[in-house]
Amino acid sequence: MNYYCYIAGMPDIQIDNAKSIPAQEEILCELKQLLSKGDMALLNILRLKYDNANLLKYLDNRDAELNPLGTLTAQDWNELIEIIDNSDELNPARDGRLLKYILDFYTTIRNEQNEEKIGFREDFLAALYYKYGMECKNKFVADWFEFNLNINNILTALTCRKYGWDIKSAIVGDNVVAETIRNSMTARDFNLKAEIDYFDALVSISETANLLDREHRIDALKWNWLEENTFFSSFSIEKVLSFWLRCELMHRWDNLSMEEGAEIFRQMINDLKKDVKF
């Protein structure tokens, strides 16, 4: 389906100017009224990142305030967790809210007390989500998930190598790039330079000392990917999804202070240290 009027009326947003960008909640409200059922399902796959974060918050505190950009409310989570906890045989197809990767995640962490066997919750859930996204039949969505997975894994591998940390256990997922890194840890470029055209850009980013600059450069790389991969899309759903994602990138920097930048650094170090044994 094409969205001529909506795309023609979209603001011309630039990565260095966030003034004209509407709020993400406002965009979502419009798209709910506009998109076909199938296209809304594609947007919802992108929104699942908020559901993942909401689920982790919910499991820690069932009264926690959840991000409204997710597809599920607190009531939804209450009902789904109760269904999972009280049913021996579950079929996600019976309830569209219950996705298989969420079911796999919850039942695994519920039944597995030894955290080392499943890794940390965030990493385990991320791996399941990336796999789910890469299985999407829409090429743009599937490629976007794989692109993000590759960025995270390559930057993680470069950082682990720099500090002498274990690389293999820090890599998430099982796509070609993830497996190549695990099998080529001694190669200077992890045998990826010939296959990944943005490998040198990631090496440069990994060497950036200023953490805010580093995050901005990662987002700029993603921005460029979104523009390049929808250049010929014109009025398609891919153009709409690209707009959603680019606005999302811009809103990540709303009112970001130096203190919040320092928190990015602390969180990144903490994430990497999870797999390090001192």
CB atoms within 10 A of CB 63: 7
Predicted local distance difference test score (pLDDT) of residue 117: 46
DSSP 14: B
Query: What pLDDT, on the 0 to 100 scale, is given for residue 87?
Result: 77
Residue spans of beta strands (DSSP E) within 26-151: none
Query: What's the mean pLDDT when you consider all of the chain?
Result: 86
Q: 62-97 pLDDT, tens per residue?
A: 999 999 999 999 999 999 898 888 876 666 666 778
Whole-model pTM? 0.87
pLDDT single digits (tens) 216-253: 899 999 999 999 999 888 889 999 999 999 999 888 87
Give me the pLDDT at residue 93, please: 60
Whether the per-residue pLDDT at 268 is higher than 60: the answer is no
The larger pLDDT score, comparing residue 260 to residue 13, is at 13
Greater pLDDT, 78 or 270: 78
Residue 38 has pLDDT above 80, yes or no: yes
| Side chain identity at residue 102, one-letter code | I
Write out pLDDT tens, residues 154-185.
Answer: 999 999 999 999 999 889 888 999 999 999 99
Give pLDDT, residue 277: 39
141: pLDDT strictly greater than 90: yes
> What Cα–Cα distance (Å) separates residue 174 from each residue in 103, 155, 185, 275?
20, 16, 15, 18
| Helix, coil or strand: residue 17 | strand
pLDDT for the residue numbered 180: 96
Residue 22's pLDDT is 84
What is the reported pLDDT for 235?
Answer: 85
* Side-chain-side CA neighbours of residue 71 (13 Å): 17
